[in-house]
């Protein structure tokens, strides 16, 4: 219906004939069943003699507000209504540019008053605009000069409600719907002391023929659509929307355009505007029934009716419906419809950036592309090419698959989610720790998240500065020695001095481990308590990396004496002469540093 558009037009007092006729035409939707007079007055005595028959009390009605609900709430003026200058009874209604005369005809076809013909002139005026309906009040004038009040509403989904009490007949409750030509037709119930009657009605404007107004003409005549008119002009769509059509146009208000960060330009503007146009003249009822409509832009708009109104794409509300033009129909909406561009998949994000070419290559090598193209959702930590380049060697085979799966978690977790959880379990099975360090999001304490929360259709991507290496099950210090043939002499010495159980304990130790060659360089291998003293001089309580040792310069051994640590010519030396050939071998109960000589206390 075109009621709200007319309301806006009349507020600005259109001075041209076209605008005046437009106002009258648009108010067809307000035709009131109550604004009638009886061509054949009903004689109560005659009515009592008519055959009584069963009459259905059901009328079609809006899903947004029932006729019974409207009857109750409209008995008195609603908060927000503008009162006319006189009451709504039989007194004169103040005639303004918002008041219109209509020619009404009706016939009672069933019930106690069957056969009664009703006709008359009516005046109506909008008094209030609400979320799902506009309310109007007016008067009817019978041929004998008697006047009585009427009230009614037009709903967003295309219904007209009429309620009036006609002297000598009873209470009339009516429902109508406009067609594309602007005429109104409907059904009504008459409640009287004799029972229920039922009939049909129709109405046309009490004025000269309406000029032909296109969709563009309607928009130009409406100040609240001036931004839309400017956009249509800029996009060179005026000729199209003034053509024979027919079209269905979803027209955003000026306020709707203000909400945009920026108005698109060029082809982007054409895309947006054609996303607001569909082929054919589709009423609100048609759209609700279909549930979706394909636009000229090619994409689909969804339409849903809820208790709060009619919505497009779930969040754009239809605020004025069924505004009929010569080449289609217009529905006014409260937001600009923006087509949501489909998000790329995780794999598409990776393949679209040169920074992830190594990642893409290893995903292909590990046959994980199909997995990451699945529905998910997944959270992926994506190392850059530089991150892979920093590795001393790139894993292969099953080891590569393990590493890559350690970068994927099931579920969609933003950076905030990860920080709140502090850890996330990966598909590989181990956890990745997440913490904020110096304002940076860090994984496992050392890998920085350099770009977070990249949305994908099947999850989310976080770009990271390094490759995450899954933890391995560390061996104990003794097991490390047993697993390496270069430590066979050391193992034999530890066994001979009953130190195996000590070095298998939970207390973290730092062990300086001489190789077989280091022991072979001795003139003789100590024995008994002397050998034990020598071995304990190679063990410190606590876990100390090479950096820790160099920073401290000395470390106390379990034997009781100190070892000095210094950097000489780029080499880490113990007691000034014994070189550390391999540092920082992690163990489950400490750390091992391989040395080239045997330390003598």
Q: Which helix (H) or strand (E) holds 549?
A: helix 546-552
Beta strand segments in 243-282, E = 247-252, 277-279
Rounded CA-CA distance 485/228 in Å is: 83
458, 342 Cβ separation under 8 angstroms: no
Strand order in the sheet with 447-456: 408-410, 378-383, 459-464, 447-456, 440-443, 431-437, 423-425
Beta strand segments in 115-241, E = 117-129, 133-141, 147-155, 160-166, 170-178, 184-192, 195-205
**Residue 24 has what pLDDT?**
35
pTM, whole model, 2 decimals?
A: 0.43
**Residue 5 has what pLDDT?**
36
Beta strand segments in 334-421, E = 378-383, 408-410
- Selected residue with higher pLDDT from 121 and 6: 121
Rounded CA-CA distance 495/584 in Å is: 24
452, 464 Cβ separation under 8 angstroms: no
Q: Which domains does the chain have, with CATH numbers?
A: 3-205 (no CATH), 215-333 (2.30.180.10), 346-464 (2.30.180.10), 477-595 (2.30.180.10)
**Residue 62 has what pLDDT?**
85
Rounded CA-CA distance 110/200 in Å is: 10
Confidence of residue 88 (pLDDT cuts 50, 70, 90): very low
Residue 562, pLDDT > 90, answer yes
In eight-state DSSP terms, residue 52 is P
Average pLDDT of 374-378? 91
Residue 498, pLDDT > 80, answer yes
- Selected residue with higher pLDDT from 204 and 574: 574
Share of the chain above pLDDT 70, in %: 86
In eight-state DSSP terms, residue 493 is H
Residue 286, pLDDT > 80, answer yes
For 178-200, the pLDDT digits (tens) are 776 667 889 988 888 878 889 99
For 107-156, the pLDDT digits (tens) are 889 887 788 887 887 787 878 777 778 888 888 777 777 788 888 888 87
Average pLDDT of 385-409? 91
Average pLDDT of 250-263? 91
Residue 237, pLDDT > 70, answer yes
Rounded CA-CA distance 341/337 in Å is: 12
Average pLDDT of 532-549? 95
């Amino acid at each position: 219906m075109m009621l709200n558009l007319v309301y806006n037009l009349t507020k600005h007092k259109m001075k041209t004939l076209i605008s005046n006729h437009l106002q009258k035409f648009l108010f067809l939707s307000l035709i009131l069943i109550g604004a009638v007079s009886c061509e054949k007055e009903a004689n109560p005595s005659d009515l009592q003699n008519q055959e009584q028959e069963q009459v259905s009390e059901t009328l079609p009605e809006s899903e947004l507000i029932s006729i019974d609900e409207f009857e109750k709430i409209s008995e008195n003026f609603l908060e927000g209504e503008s009162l006319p200058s006189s009451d709504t009874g039989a007194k004169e209604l103040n005639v303004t540019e918002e008041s219109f005369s209509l020619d009404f005809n009706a016939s009672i076809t069933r019930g106690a008053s069957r056969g009664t013909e009703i006709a008359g002139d009516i005046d109506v005026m909008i008094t209030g605009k609400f979320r799902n309906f506009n309310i109007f009040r007016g008067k009817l004038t019978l041929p004998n000069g008697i006047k009585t009040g009427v009230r009614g509403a037009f709903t967003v989904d295309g219904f007209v409600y009429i309620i009036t009490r006609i002297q000598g007949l009873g209470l009339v409750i009516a429902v109508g719907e406009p067609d594309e030509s602007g005429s109104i037709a409907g059904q009504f119930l008459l409640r009287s002391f004799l029972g229920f009657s039922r009939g049909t009605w129709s109405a046309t404007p009490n004025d000269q023929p309406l000029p032909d107004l296109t969709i563009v003409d309607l928009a130009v005549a409406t100040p609240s659509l001036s931004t839309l008119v400017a956009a249509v002009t800029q996009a060179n769509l005026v000729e199209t929307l003034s053509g024979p059509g027919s079209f269905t146009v979803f027209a955003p208000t000026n306020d709707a355009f203000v909400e945009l960060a920026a108005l698109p330009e060029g082809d982007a503007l054409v895309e947006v505007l054609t996303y607001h146009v569909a082929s054919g003249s589709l009423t609100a009822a048609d759209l609700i029934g279909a549930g979706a409509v394909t636009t000229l832009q090619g994409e689909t708009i969804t339409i849903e009716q809820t208790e709060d109104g009619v919505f497009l794409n779930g969040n754009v509300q239809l605020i004025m419906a069924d505004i009929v033009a010569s080449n289609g129909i217009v529905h006014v909406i409260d937001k600009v419809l923006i087509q949501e561009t489909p998000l790329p998949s995780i794999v598409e994000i990776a393949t679209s950036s040169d920074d992830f070419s190594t990642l893409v290559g290893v995903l292909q090598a590990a046959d994980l592309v199909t997995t990451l193209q699945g529905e998910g959702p997944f959270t992926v930590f994506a190392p850059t090419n530089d991150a892979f380049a920093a590795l001393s060697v790139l894993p292969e085979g099953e080891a590569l698959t393990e590493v890559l799966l350690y970068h994927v978690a099931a579920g969609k977790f933003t950076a905030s989610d990860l920080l709140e959880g502090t850890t996330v379990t990966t598909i590989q099975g181990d956890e990745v720790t997440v913490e904020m360090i110096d304002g940076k999001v860090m994984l496992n304490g050392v890998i920085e998240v350099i770009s977070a929360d990249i949305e994908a259709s099947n999850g989310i991507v976080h770009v990271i500065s390094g490759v995450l290496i899954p933890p391995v099950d560390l061996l104990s210090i003794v097991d490390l020695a047993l697993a390496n043939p270069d430590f066979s002499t050391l193992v034999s010495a530890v066994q001979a001095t009953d130190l195996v159980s000590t070095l298998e304990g939970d207390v973290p130790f730092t062990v300086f481990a001489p190789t077989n060659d280091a022991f072979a360089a001795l003139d003789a291998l100590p024995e008994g308590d002397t050998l034990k003293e020598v071995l304990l001089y190679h063990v410190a309580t606590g876990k100390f990396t090479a950096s820790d040792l160099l920073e401290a310069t000395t470390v106390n051994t379990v034997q009781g004496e100190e070892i000095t640590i210094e950097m000489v010519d780029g080499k880490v030396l113990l007691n000034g002469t014994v070189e550390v050939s391999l540092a920082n071998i992690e163990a489950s109960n400490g750390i091992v540093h391989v040395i080239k000589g045997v330390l003598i206390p």
